Chain A
Amino acid sequence: MISTEPNLVLVGVNHKTTPVEIREKLAFNQVKLEASLEQLVRCPEIAENIILSTCNRVEIYARVENTDQGIQLLKDFISDYHGIERGSLDQYFYSYTDTQAVEHLFRVSASLDSMILGEAQILGQVKDAYSTARSVSSTGLVLNQLFEKAFNVAKKVREETGISERGVSISSAAVELAKKIFEDLENHSVMLVGTGEMAELAAKHLISYGVKTVYVASRTYERAIALAQTLNGCALGFEAFKEELYRADIVITSTAAPNFIISKEMIEKAIHKRKNKPIFLIDIAVPRDIAPEVNDLENVYLYDIDDLQNVVNANMEERQKEAENAMEIIQEEVTKFNNWFSTLDAVPTIVEMRNRAEDMRLTEVDKTLKTLPHLSDADQQAIHQLTQSLVNKILHKPTINLKKKIQSLDGHVYLKAIRHLFHLDD
């Protein structure tokens, strides 16, 4: 029989504690995940469990009878399941209980424990793990509440801190800049000069944000045509692009040319032809393709690869700072969750209920005995026994049922009802 106390445990490995060679061996196959969850929940010591298995972490969250035993059991399960000797794994495992486990899950979901701080993928993975567990009913009241809360916390962190808003890759930083210059990318065009892989990647990124018109220029016209085809754009000859520069809102250069191929005069001409509409130049070539003094022109914004890298570095630092704000939110939410958690414990309520009944019994018996002074001690004793067993009999079923029901999805409703019906909170 599972105790009424909601003991929460978490056992896992992640990218910080464990090298990838070990992590990949411990990953749970998504196809067999349901079977694994069912296997675990059949253990009498385990009431609920969820397995979170991603490329950066393997974690099992569970509600167990006894925390120490539970942790050992989960560690054994992971090593047995993958057929790896337990002793060789112990150095990698971390385990948390109750409050710490709650905080850990909140941090994971809010992407504070991720390799790239604030990345968005992890929340989806946690959600998937949760819905798989729900589909095989390996979760109950506590884990359901815990995970739903974790999703809310992640959302709150995302909305109220800047943890996810700054791009931490070259191409996302470039897209961000483009969106700070042009807002909506849909009606804007991009020109690739040179067909480098990075330029292609950046162009694809821009296209995914709505850029529709793409021009590709290359010294080798065939390559321009080939890339233009993949990007659904139009190819330009290498000399022609100079005349067409004014058509592009965003220009990405990545040629192998040893000298600058775009001069200040060329851009000056283009910007004049564009009636001063801004132009965003991204030079990812080394050596550079665009003369740096181009940036002195009004309404022209030139970023080379180092500039973008600096932006990325600054963004990473900023995410680190935002992580501190996020931790404040998480601490608050952990406290709130703990408050809810403590209401789940049925034992204090049962004790209070019984004390209340005992008080009433004593008061009533004393009153009655005062009116019956002729009774012998033995008779009085008999009355005490009778009333005691009456109270016990009446309270027996509610006690058993409360202990049983507290495990169910709406367990706290019963607890509340009992407290209300017996006036325990007055």
Chain B
Amino acid sequence: MDKISFNLSLLSYLIASLGYFVYLAYRRPLVATLAGWTVAFGLLCQTVTIGIRSSQTGHGPYTTSFEVALFLAWLMVVVYFLTEWKYKIKDLGAFVIPLVFIVLLFSAFLSKDAALVPESEEVRFWLTMHRTLSIMGYAAFSIAFAAGIMYLIQEHQVKTKKLGIMYFRMPSLEVLDDLNFKVIMIGFPLFTLGFMTGSIWNTQMNLPFFSWDLTRTLPLVLTWLIYCTVFFGRMMVGVRGKKAAQGAILGFITVIGTYFLHIL
């Protein structure tokens, strides 16, 4: 059952991605609407998958690499819907949903075995907090990543004075920049809290509060520094536009890299 719902959600995101590409190229409002409903159906199926999985393992979807990817993809869609509802940028789907599809497709190849969770209530609490907050932060960053790419495409067109079809289809630089900032403004504190609760969880496991582990901690610190620069840079010295977009893209690439270093 959870396999069926998993495959259905994967298929839905694939179809929706293609739909959004068609919309980007040929502007058929109906296609965008259908793609939106397909994503909603995919989200529903994925919710079922997560529900079944959680009832089987007895805890939330954040212990194994598979669960993390599953949960991240799910949250990305949720954040996407919230953004879409607030900003009405239909073209965003062409940049976010393929990403969701890739994350979910990747998760399909990971081990589906459940991991052991710590016995202690307290340790479990910090683990839950750490993973949930971090993944929420990553989901927000993924939208910033998509907005950043859209910003660079649009900025390039206006700057070089070569106004292609995308120029008319995509929103203004101001909107994309604003979206980029807003999602980082939400994502960065979540990610920071996730980082801190992770350290607390470490101490609960009788590990040091912070360690200079080359593959685990260091990339995380790097990620944190990038978003920190983008976040405070804007507030203090007005880092915006192209630099902010590049920062959001670089940050998310680091997030992906960190994830891979973790599961290696």
A residues adjacent to B (C-beta < 8 A) = 159-162, 165-166, 177, 179-184, 274-278, 295, 298-299, 301, 303, 307, 310-311, 314
CA distance A358 to B203 in the complex (A): 99
- In the complex, the answer to whether A182 meets B172 with C-beta atoms within 8 Å is yes
- In the complex, the answer to whether A301 meets B168 with C-beta atoms within 8 Å is no
- In the complex, the answer to whether A181 meets B241 with C-beta atoms within 8 Å is no
Known: A180-B158, A275-B237, A307-B161. A162 touches B174 (CB 8 A): no
Q: Which 7 residue pairs are nearest across A and B when measured between Cβ atoms?
A: A275-B238, A183-B172, A276-B238, A183-B174, A299-B241, A180-B172, A183-B175
Partner of B154, one of A165, A166, A180, A275: A180
- In the complex, the answer to whether A181 meets B27 with C-beta atoms within 8 Å is no
11 A–B pairs (Cβ distance < 8 Å), ordered by A: A161-B27, A162-B165, A165-B168, A180-B158, A180-B172, A182-B172, A274-B238, A275-B237, A275-B238, A298-B243, A299-B240
- In the complex, the answer to whether B27 meets A162 with C-beta atoms within 8 Å is yes
Q: Which residues of B contact A276 (CB under 8 A)?
A: 238-241
Which positions 148-188 of chain B face chain A at CB distance < 8 Å? 154, 158-159, 161, 163, 165, 167-168, 171-175
Contact string, B28-69, partner A, CB cutoff 8 A, digits 1/0?
Answer: 110000000000000000000000000000000000000000
Q: Which residues of A contact B216 (CB under 8 A)?
A: none
CA distance A299 to B175 in the complex (A): 14
Partner of B172, one of A161, A179, A274: A179
CA distance A172 to B172 in the complex (A): 16
Q: Which residues of A contact B237 (CB under 8 A)?
A: 275
Question: Any chain A CB within 8 A of the CB of B124?
Answer: no
Select from chain A the residue with minimum beta-carbon distance to B170. Answer: A180
- In the complex, the answer to whether B174 meets A181 with C-beta atoms within 8 Å is yes
Q: In the assembled complex, how far is the CB of residue B168 from the closest CB belonging to chain A, in whole angstroms?
A: 6
- In the complex, the answer to whether B161 meets A310 with C-beta atoms within 8 Å is yes
CA distance A6 to B119 in the complex (A): 85
CA distance A278 to B241 in the complex (A): 8
Select from chain B the residue with minimum beta-carbon distance to A182. Answer: B174
Q: Which residues of B contact A307 (CB under 8 A)?
A: 161
- In the complex, the answer to whether A181 meets B158 with C-beta atoms within 8 Å is yes
Select from chain B the residue with minimum beta-carbon distance to A300. Answer: B159
CA distance A299 to B242 in the complex (A): 8
Residues of B within 8 A of A (CB-CB), count = 23
- In the complex, the answer to whether B158 meets A301 with C-beta atoms within 8 Å is yes
Select from chain B the residue with minimum beta-carbon distance to A165. Answer: B168
B residues adjacent to A (C-beta < 8 A) = 27-29, 154, 158-159, 161, 163, 165, 167-168, 171-175, 237-243
CA distance A295 to B175 in the complex (A): 21
CA distance A184 to B238 in the complex (A): 20
Q: Which residues of A contact B161 (CB under 8 A)?
A: 303, 307, 310-311
Q: Which residues of A contact B243 (CB under 8 A)?
A: 298
Q: In the assembled complex, how far is the CB of residue B21 from the closest CB belonging to chain A, in whole angstroms?
A: 17
Q: In the assembled complex, how far is the CB of residue B126 from the closest CB belonging to chain A, in whole angstroms?
A: 40
Q: In the assembled complex, how far is the CB of residue A294 from the closest CB belonging to chain B, in whole angstroms?
A: 12
CA distance A299 to B238 in the complex (A): 11
Q: In the assembled complex, how far is the CB of residue A163 from the closest CB belonging to chain B, in whole angstroms?
A: 11
- In the complex, the answer to whether A177 meets B158 with C-beta atoms within 8 Å is yes
CA distance A299 to B171 in the complex (A): 16
Q: In the assembled complex, how far is the CB of residue A211 from the closest CB belonging to chain B, in whole angstroms?
A: 14
Most chain B CB inside 10 Å of its own CB: which residue of A177, A183, A310, A314 = A183
CA distance A161 to B240 in the complex (A): 34
- In the complex, the answer to whether A183 meets B29 with C-beta atoms within 8 Å is no
- In the complex, the answer to whether A298 meets B172 with C-beta atoms within 8 Å is no
Known: A307-B161, A310-B161, A311-B163. A181 touches B242 (CB 8 A): no
- In the complex, the answer to whether A314 meets B238 with C-beta atoms within 8 Å is no
CA distance A161 to B26 in the complex (A): 9
Q: Which residues of A contact B165 (CB under 8 A)?
A: 162
Q: Which residues of A contact B168 (CB under 8 A)?
A: 162, 165-166
Most chain B CB inside 10 Å of its own CB: which residue of A162, A299, A307 = A299
CA distance A184 to B175 in the complex (A): 9
CA distance A98 to B44 in the complex (A): 51
Q: In the assembled complex, how far is the CB of residue A332 from the closest CB belonging to chain B, in whole angstroms?
A: 14
Q: Which residues of B contact A303 (CB under 8 A)?
A: 161
CA distance A165 to B168 in the complex (A): 8
Partner of B163, one of A161, A181, A295, A314: A314
Q: Which residues of B contact A275 (CB under 8 A)?
A: 237-238, 240
- In the complex, the answer to whether B240 meets A181 with C-beta atoms within 8 Å is no
- In the complex, the answer to whether A159 meets B29 with C-beta atoms within 8 Å is yes
Q: In the assembled complex, how far is the CB of residue A279 from the closest CB belonging to chain B, in whole angstroms?
A: 11
Q: In the assembled complex, how far is the CB of residue A315 from the closest CB belonging to chain B, in whole angstroms?
A: 8
CA distance A316 to B239 in the complex (A): 37
Q: Which residues of A contact B154 (CB under 8 A)?
A: 180
- In the complex, the answer to whether A298 meets B163 with C-beta atoms within 8 Å is no
Select from chain A the residue with minimum beta-carbon distance to B244. Answer: A276
Known: A159-B29, A160-B27, A160-B29. 13 other contacts (CB 8 A): A160-B28, A179-B172, A180-B172, A182-B173, A274-B238, A275-B237, A275-B238, A275-B240, A276-B241, A278-B174, A299-B241, A301-B158, A307-B161
- In the complex, the answer to whether A181 meets B172 with C-beta atoms within 8 Å is yes
Q: Which residues of B contact A299 (CB under 8 A)?
A: 240-242
CA distance A162 to B163 in the complex (A): 14
Q: In the assembled complex, how far is the CB of residue A280 from the closest CB belonging to chain B, in whole angstroms?
A: 9
Q: Which residues of A contact B163 (CB under 8 A)?
A: 311, 314
Partner of A278, one of B167, B173, B175: B173
Q: Which residues of A contact B242 (CB under 8 A)?
A: 298-299
